[in-house]
Every structure is written in structure tokens, then in C-alpha cells.
Chains A and B, each alone.
Chain A
Amino acid sequence: MNRAVVEFGALCALAVLVVGFVAYARRCGSPRADGGYRERPLFHPSVLREGLVRWTTTTDHKDVGLLYIAFGTVAALWGGVDAMMLRTELLTPAADVWSEATYNALFTTHGVTMLFFFVTPVFFGIGNYFVPLLIGADDMAFPRINAIGFWLLPPALLIARAGLPSQVAAQVLGALTSGPLVDFFAALEEPGIGWTLYPPLSTTTASPQIDLLLLGLHLSGIATTLGAINFIVTIFHERGEGNSWATLDIFSWSMLTTSGIVLFAFPLLGSALLMLLADRNLGTTFYAITGGGPILWQHLFWFFGHPEVYILFLPATGLMSQILPKFVGRKLFGFRFIVYSTLAIGVLSFGVWAHHMFVTSMNPRLSASFMAVSVAIAVPSAIKVFNWITTIWDGRIRLAAPGLLCIGSIGTFVIGGVTGVFLAAVPVDVFYHGTYYVVGHFHLITVGIIPMMMIAASYYWYPLITGRWYDRRLARFQVGLLIVGSVVTFGILLALGFQALPRRYANYPAEFAPLQQVATVGGYLIGLSAILWLYNMIWSYWNGDRIADADVWDLKESDQFTPEWQWLEDRLERKYDVEPTEPETVRASYTTDPEQGSPHVLTDPERLVRSVVGDTLYGALGGLIGTLAMSGVLFTGSFIGVFDVSAFAELGGLVGLGEDARAGYLLFILGGVTTWAILFRAIAEFLPGRLLVVTGLSYATIMSTGFTVAFYTGQTGLELVGYLVFALVAHWLYGLGLAGTIRYAEYRRTVGE
């Protein structure tokens, strides 16, 4: 199929639908009944002119933030269409939807668009809108540099991705006429060299669009650097009264660290890009074999590229740390350590780049040291994850869309992160580097937390930005779709990687088709969820329920009514006389009183340790008593011939101890003391029975069904009935012994106190 026309057509159709829908939603939402006020239609010349002047000249941080977000959304849709086309190609083992060259071009542009033009702009947009509000600044430090930083981006995107519109122009014009203009457009075709632009492919491929891509990326790098300088100066110098470093919020910390990384990563990429451009056009030898060699590009690129990973990731963690506590009613646990881990990532991110190059000719001793740092950088990320999980602990969890996204993306991020720890190990990486495992790993992060946190932020702050509610039911559905889609798609990519399917190919052996097809369906789910999100954002802007007061998330109840919401409250009071609300009940989000439900277990470590040890010992003792009582019944059964002790031998054989009944029996006792006792403790409260002893009996009854299957040795008729009865009775004794001992221990402890 004709790729350019299909993609361009899809994008145009999307644009037309969005604009039409905006007009429709706007019309539906106009207040008509109250006194004849009616908004002018969207396409009225005066509306267009005023809108154009207003948005192109604005320097207000909130406006620029929205521009960034809108631009990032457009880029995401463009890169998303690339992704949908990639997944469509992979529905069939042969490259028969698009050609191989098209497939290569698609994964190149998908990567470039998403990484450079989607993620950073959107996070800068969110930062633009909220950092000044959070730190109490009037605006960014340099409002106009802010504006120019944004306005350099759209031309950068158009230059970098000129290939697609050019191809369409060439085909449309070529159908009508011919001439130099057609040739010009035809020459610009999106290159299939991978987003990493490795030479010698990128220096020897003749496509002029590569030069445009390099220039576009350089321009976007300048825009990003300007934005980063602005953020740093803002956070250093524009904090409002009473906002010191000690009280700086977690999201601003993340943006500060991100900007610090940008400061050194992007300019270096800029120089590296210009060197590549010079190699292509001026005959320099920066990346030629005689000069620095292709490996130099890899070093320079990844010296930018790995910090870039954290430039994308850190703002997402900042949003998580900002939003998650609001939906569990607990203050962020380990705030200080999350800040330290963010700073640690900022520093370490510059010391891990060569783990992208383990399969090159790099000195193996270098590999070893980069492996060490790469494994080490997992520690600060893990610190964040554990602190998030601890924040959830004992919280009042609300499954609104932002909360759902937080919890879901902790899950996907853990998978994405842990698979990365394996990749950091040289031997594992050598094996998996060229496979789908890598694709699955990094997409679980780039989709599993980054856009999820963007969407969480969009829902969380939607009432603040628009004064209206989004459609909350649709949002929860959309969130579910996104999480399921991500896990399905990228989980399967991991599985394909385990089976060593090489990445970057349009075609693949037929036996992988079922998995690839499921992954594609998952990818479509992600695409659908993106459309639903966009629908919700647009429709609710004019038609959502109006908010009644500023405390839309009941944050005052947990004492987390942060500055941006206070700003909204002030504004509502000043403009619409909305009285500030007071909650009826307050449950502090942080307290040292254990009764209040804050995890401050370590106030009395000795008692904690004693109770843990005591519980363990009594559980084991109960298990032992139960198992011995059970053994008595079983041996009686074997004496009268309904139970065969050789079943123990099978158990021994199963775990590799050999077909020995004694070893199997010891294992049986060990299981009764540990596994089954722990399991009982874990699920006891979900089992029927008000008294613990009764619960033990029901637990034993359930267990016995599994036992009868596992220890069945071919009994029939009356023997079988006897076997079943003896097994059940034996288990009841186990349940009685176990639960009775634990109950006795509890009784003793209560009396002791």
C-alpha cells in the first residue's frame, strides 16, 4: 500500500475529525437559555483572528504550557499513527502490508517523533503550567524565552518530518504535472536508518531527508535547552515567599533535575548532529573509519541518549510522587529519599551510556564498569518504587482515573525496570540485545509510566485548568484499556524476545504470528484509549460538569490542599465569590500516632521483632503439631490399607530427592510447617468461620481436595472411599492443630498483657 498517502490521509482525517468535533462540542456546550448569550461560531473570522493573535503572542506560562501540551499531543498522534502502521505490518509474517523500506522508515520516524517531539514538550508544558503555581511564582523567569522555546518546536517537527508531506505533495503534484517542484518533493523521503542514526548507514545513505532530520533535531535541541535553562532559573530564583528548598514540592524537584540533565545532554547531541551533517556534506571524517569511526557516534549519541531516557522518565516520577499521595490520602512516604534518588539518577545517568554498546567492539573492561553503574542506577529507581508502594500502605485508596493510572503504572514500571536490570548485565545483553526483549523492556517504561503519568496529570488537573469535570466513567474505562493494552502488547514483546525473535524486521518466521497478532491487538487498544482520552478532553471542555468549589478531590480532608489548588480557590473566590470549603472530617495524611494508620511501625522495633518472631514460631509449632496429628491418621490409614506410603516417595521424586519415602515424608512435614501454615495465615480472614479454629477446619477441607489428587495411588471401590475419608479426617486434624496452636498463642499474649 502507498504508505505516505495512507498515513497522511489518516492524519488529515484525524485532524478534520478533531476540528469538527471541537466545533460540535463547543456548540453543544454554549449556554443558550440564559439571556440570549451565544458564542460566535468557531469558524467566524473574528474568532479565528483573535485566537491566532492571542496564541501566537502569548507569553503567559499557562498559555505556553497549553501550547506545549497541544503540540506534544499532535506529535503523539503522528508518532502513534506510525506505531499503528508498524503493528499492522506485523500482523502477517511476510512484509505484505507495507514494504520493508516503509517499515524501516516507520520505526525511525516513530522513535524520533515520540522521543523528541512528544514526551519532552508535553512534560515541559505540564511544568510550564504548574511549576510557577506550585512554587508561588508569577510566571517563568523568562516568559519570552519560554515562548520562543515553544515556537521553535513546530518548525523543528516539520523539518524533521518533512518527508511525509513531501511525498504526498510529490504524488499529488506528480499526478497533475511534472517539473523541478515535483522532483524536489519526491527527493524528500523519510529515511529508514533507525532513530539512533548510526553511521555508516546514516553517512552513506543518499536521502536528503536525513540532512533535514539532523537539522530539525538540532533545532528542537535548542528549543529544549532554552526551556531547561528557564526552568532552572525559575526554580532557583522565582520561588514565592516562604518557599525554601526544604519545602520545594516533588514535581519541581523532578523538573529541576530533568532540566539539569538537558543542559549537558542536548548541546552535546547538537554538536554530534552537526558533525554528522558535516560528514555527510562537507567531507569531514568525524565518523569515518579513518577518523573517529562509527563507534564515536555511538559514544556521543548515547552519552546524550541515556540521559535522555531519564529526561523522559524523571518528570513522570515527579508526577507520580505528586499525584499518588492525593489518591491514597497519605503524604508521600520518604519524600527526602525520593528527592535524593532523583538527584542520584541525574548524576548517574551520565555514567551508563555504554550499556547500549555491549555488542560493539568496545573494550570489555569498559563494559564491566558500565555494567556496574547500570545495575547501580536501578537502586534509586527502586527507592522510588518502594516509597510509592509504602505511600499506598494503609491509605484510603480512591480508584479515580488518576489514582488507577498511578497504581497501574507502578506495576508496568516495575516490569519494565526489572527487565532493564537484566539487560544491564553484559552476558544477558549480548544475548538479548538484538531481540524484541529490548523493545518490550523500554516500551514498558516509555508507555508504562511516561504517557500514563501525563494522562494522570491531565485528569488530575483538568478541573483546575478548565473549571469543569471530565467524563469520569469514560476516563476509568480509558485507563483500564490503556493499562491492559500496554501489558498485553509489551508483555508479549518480552515473550517474543525470550524466544530470540530479532527486532527491527518487517518479516518474521510464521510460528511467531499468533503472538505478534495478539501484540498488535494490544497496540490497537492503546491507540483506541488515546482517541478516547482526546475525545474526553475536548468534549468535557465545553460540556463537562462545572466544579462547585476548588477542593474537587477532597484534598483538604487529608491535609494535602497544595498551592496550585489554593491558587484556584483564590481565583474562584475573587471572580465568582465561591466560598472556600471546609471538610467535615480530617484524616491527617501524616501522623506518628499508630492508631491513626500511619506506617510508623518502627516506633517500637523491639515489640515488632518480638511479635514477628513469636508469630513465626507459633505458626511453625502449630504446623508441626498439625502435621504430626495428620501423620497419625495417615499411618493408621496405611495400616488398614487405604493409604499407600509410597505416595511420599513420589513426592520426594518430584522435587529431585529420589524415590525415597523417608525423604518425601520429611518434605511433607516441612511443607506442613512452612508453606501451608503461612498460606493459612495469609488467607484465613477470607475463609468461612467466625472462630479461628473453625476457619482452620474449612481451610483443611479445601486443602484436602488437592491432597487427595496428589497422593492418589490408584485405590478403587471401598478403598477409595476409605482413602477420601482418611485424607479428610487427617486434614481436619491438621487444621485443628494449626489453628488451635495459633489461637492459644494469641490467647497467651492477650493474657500476658
Chain B
Amino acid sequence: MGVADETSDDHGGHGGHHLPAVEDWPRGFGEASWWPFITAIGGSGFYIGAALYVLGRGDSAIVSPMVGPGVFIASAVMFLGGLYGWLYHAFVVNFWEHGTGEHDDSTLRLAMILFLGTEIATFGAGFVYYFFIRAGTWPPGELPELFGTLVIVNTLILIASSFTLHFAHTGLLKDNRKQFLGLMGVTLLLGVIFIGGQVYEYYEFIVHRGLEFQGAVFGSAFFGLTGLHGLHVTLGAILLSIVFIRGLLGQYSAERHTSVSTVSMYWHFVDVVWVFLVVVLYVGAEFGI
């Protein structure tokens, strides 16, 4: 099977373009890496775990209910391990020698913008459901009081975090390391507080105000959308912590800040989605606009 054996030597002489796998595992294969394969197996394992979990539910379960979560956790280990190895070899191992190519920056930024484009569609389906039921008889049943102090405070916290992140980034661009690190820390803290607020809100709604999603027309929209958004904020907080830690290690400068800017884009996007969500889902449902 010698197709690319013959061709692998064609990639040496094309200018100074940085090839991704100069130091990788397995060695000696030129452009080769186990990490995508391992990560893919881990990622697929999530789905197999989810499938087994579904099969293990209910009275007519055909597998033990613990099999699904077990596979899921094992897959998570594999997935995260694969991801770590991937990022380690691609960005970390020779980080200090690796020059700053404008080329790489722009590709990664464009990729983030495109990913956010896909996110619009991901959220879109849930919002379409909400608009569908909103166009029908309203309200579809008893609704708890949605728009309260908690939401307002939480929203303000998230919006504030976007500002602190922005000024952290400008601080970095002005080589103001103190401003960068301080505001990054504040952003991360605000993000975590927001997640805490969301958890508290879920607790309030489910336990005290009887909002549920089983068979509930509004509950499906509410938990579907806020849950999806909550997952995104959680991922955002993880990304922020990675940036924060790398910032503490001094890996950023006014010239090298690609991941700061991509993570910022993501965080601002999640923030905007939240504002939209509050306007249509909380305010819109409550006041029947």
C-alpha cells in the first residue's frame, strides 16, 4: 500500500510553513500521529456509552444500567487523554521555540468563527421549538415566575465577564501582564459564579416551583435551551482556565495571543446567546410579549 510512502517526501520543501507533527508519536512516520485516532475512538465511545445507557433504562432494560455510564467514563478518559496528547505535541512541547506565524493565527481564528457559525444552527433548532410553542396557545400551562432577581444578577455577571475578558485581552496587547492576569482571573471567577447561579436556579425551579421537563411543553424548551447553554458556559470556563494557567506560565505576549482571542470570541458568543435567551425565554415567556 505504497501510495503516500512515495509522496511523503513532497512536503519538505514548501517554504517555511510549519508542519504540525514534527515531534510526535509514533516517530519516524513523518506526518503521522496516533492522537486523532485515539481521540476519535474516545469521542465515539461517548456515543456508544450513551447508546448503552439508553438501552439500560426503564423496565425493559436489556443491559445493566451501569454499563452505559461505565463506557462513557472510560471514553472520557480516552478522549481527554487523546486531546491532551494532541495539544501537547502540537502546541506545548516545542512551544518556546515555535515562532509566531501570522499564518497559523488567521487559520485558527477563522476556524473559531466558523465553529461559532455552526453553534448558531445548534442553538437554532431549540429556539425554533420555543417559537413554535410560543406561536400556539400561550401559556401552555402553569408557568412559574421566571424573570426574577436571580436571572437579572446572573445576566449582569455574565455580561460583566465579557467586559473583563475584553480588557484582559487589551491589557495583554499593551503588554500589561498584571492587567491581563488580574482580569482573566476575574473573568474566570465570574464565569464560575454564573454556573453556580444556574445550578441554584435549576434547584429552585425543580424543587420549589415544580418546573419539570417530562411531558412539559415549556419545560422542554426551558431545560433544553438553558441546559445547552449551561454546557457551553462550562466548556467556556474550562477554556478560560486553560488560558489563565497558560497566562500564569507566561506563554502569552502582545505578539502571541491566538488562543486568548479565540477563547474570547467563544466567550462573547456564549454571552450574546445568553442575552438573547433571557430576552425571549425568560422575559418573553413571562410577559407574553
Contact = CB atoms under 8 A, between A and B. Distances in A.
A265 B121 contact: yes
B110 A57 contact: no
Interface centre among B4, B20, B110, by most chain A C-beta atoms within 10 angstroms, is: B4
Contacts of B51: 159, 211-212, 215
B55 A141 contact: no
Interface centre among B14, B34, B121, by most chain A C-beta atoms within 10 angstroms, is: B121
A652 B3 CA distance: 72
Interface in B41-60: 41, 43-44, 47-48, 50-51, 54-55, 57
B79 to A, nearest CB: 11
A749 B204 CA distance: 95
B97 interface: no
Contacts of A299: 128
B96 to A, nearest CB: 21
Interface stretch (B112-120, B162-170, B264-272, B275-283): B112-120
Contact of B107 (A211, A212, A233): A233
Nearest to B34: A57
B33 A144 contact: yes
Interface stretch (B174-182, B186-194, B210-218, B240-248): B210-218
A275 interface: yes
Contacts of A232: 110, 114
B31 A143 contact: yes
A229 B119 CA distance: 12
Contact of B44 (A156, A292, A575): A156
A284 B220 contact: yes
A703 interface: no
Contact of A152 (B3, B17, B40): B40
Interface string B14-29: 1001011100001001
A493 interface: no
Contact of B14 (A138, A148, A218): A138
Interface string B108-136: 00110011011111111110110011000
B70 interface: no
Contacts of A233: 107, 110-111, 114
Interface centre among B20, B37, B214, B217, by most chain A C-beta atoms within 10 angstroms, is: B37
Given A144-B21, A147-B33, A271-B126, A236 B224 contact: no
Contact of B120 (A229, A238, A264, A293): A264
A145 B40 CA distance: 10
A157 B39 CA distance: 17
B149 interface: no
A151 B21 contact: no
Given A271-B125, A281-B54, A208 B7 contact: no
Given A58-B32, A59-B33, A148-B39, A282 B213 contact: yes
Contacts of B63: 180, 184
A268 interface: yes
B6 interface: yes
A390 B208 CA distance: 72
Interface in A115-160: 138-139, 141-148, 150-152, 155-156, 159
A187 interface: yes
B202 to A, nearest CB: 15
Contact of A141 (B47, B107, B224): B107
Contacts, number: 216
B8 interface: yes
Interface centre among B10, B31, B217, B219, by most chain A C-beta atoms within 10 angstroms, is: B31
Q: What is the interface of chain A mostly: helix, strand, loop, or mixed?
A: helix
B151 interface: no
Given A275-B129, A284-B213, A211 B20 contact: no
B140 interface: yes
Interface stretch (A48-56, A334-342, A495-503): A48-56
A232 B129 CA distance: 30
B33 A283 contact: no
A466 B1 CA distance: 10
A144 B86 contact: yes
A237 interface: yes
Interface string B133-146: 10000001000000
Contact of A59 (B31, B119, B126): B31
A229 B128 CA distance: 24
Contacts of B111: 141-142, 229-230, 233
Interface centre among B103, B107, B118, by most chain A C-beta atoms within 10 angstroms, is: B118
Interface stretch (A60-68, A594-602, A733-741): A60-68
Given A54-B29, A59-B33, A267-B122, A142 B21 contact: no
Contacts of B209: none
Contacts of A187: 55, 62
A60 B126 contact: no
B100 interface: no
B76 interface: no
Contacts of A228: 114
Contact of A215 (B8, B50, B224): B50
Contacts of B124: 268, 271
A473 B178 CA distance: 73
A702 B168 CA distance: 90
A30 to B, nearest CB: 12
A56 B1 CA distance: 13
Nearest to A268: B121
Contacts of B217: 285, 290-291
A325 interface: no
Contact of A263 (B8, B90, B117): B117
Given A59-B21, A237-B110, A284-B213, A148 B43 contact: yes
Contacts of A229: 111, 114-115, 118
Given A216-B47, A275-B126, A286-B220, A60 B7 contact: yes
A300 interface: yes
B196 interface: no
B41 A270 contact: no
A230 B54 CA distance: 33
A662 B182 CA distance: 101
Interface string A289-302: 01111001001100
Interface centre among B54, B103, B213, by most chain A C-beta atoms within 10 angstroms, is: B54
Interface string B78-104: 000000001000100000000000010
A743 B14 CA distance: 65
A692 B105 CA distance: 72
Contacts of B90: 144
A183 B36 CA distance: 35
Given A232-B114, A236-B110, A53 B26 contact: yes
Given A63-B4, A183-B62, A144 B129 contact: no
A589 to B, nearest CB: 28
Contacts of A666: none
B35 interface: yes
A292 B34 contact: no
B251 interface: no
A444 interface: no
A139 B107 contact: no
Given A57-B26, A292-B129, 7 more contacts: A58-B29, A139-B31, A215-B51, A233-B111, A283-B213, A284-B213, A465-B3
30 contacts: A57-B32, A57-B33, A57-B34, A58-B29, A62-B4, A62-B7, A66-B3, A139-B19, A144-B33, A144-B90, A151-B40, A151-B41, A152-B44, A155-B40, A180-B63, A215-B51, A219-B44, A219-B47, A266-B121, A268-B122, A271-B121, A271-B123, A271-B126, A272-B125, A275-B126, A286-B224, A291-B220, A292-B133, A299-B128, A465-B3
Interface of B: 1, 3-4, 6-8, 10-11, 14, 17, 19-21, 26, 29-37, 39-41, 43-44, 47-48, 50-51, 54-55, 57, 62-63, 86, 90, 103, 106-107, 110-111, 114-115, 117-126, 128-129, 132-133, 140, 213-217, 219-220, 224, 228
The 7 closest A-B pairs by CB, nearest first: A151-B40, A155-B44, A271-B125, A147-B36, A283-B214, A267-B121, A148-B36
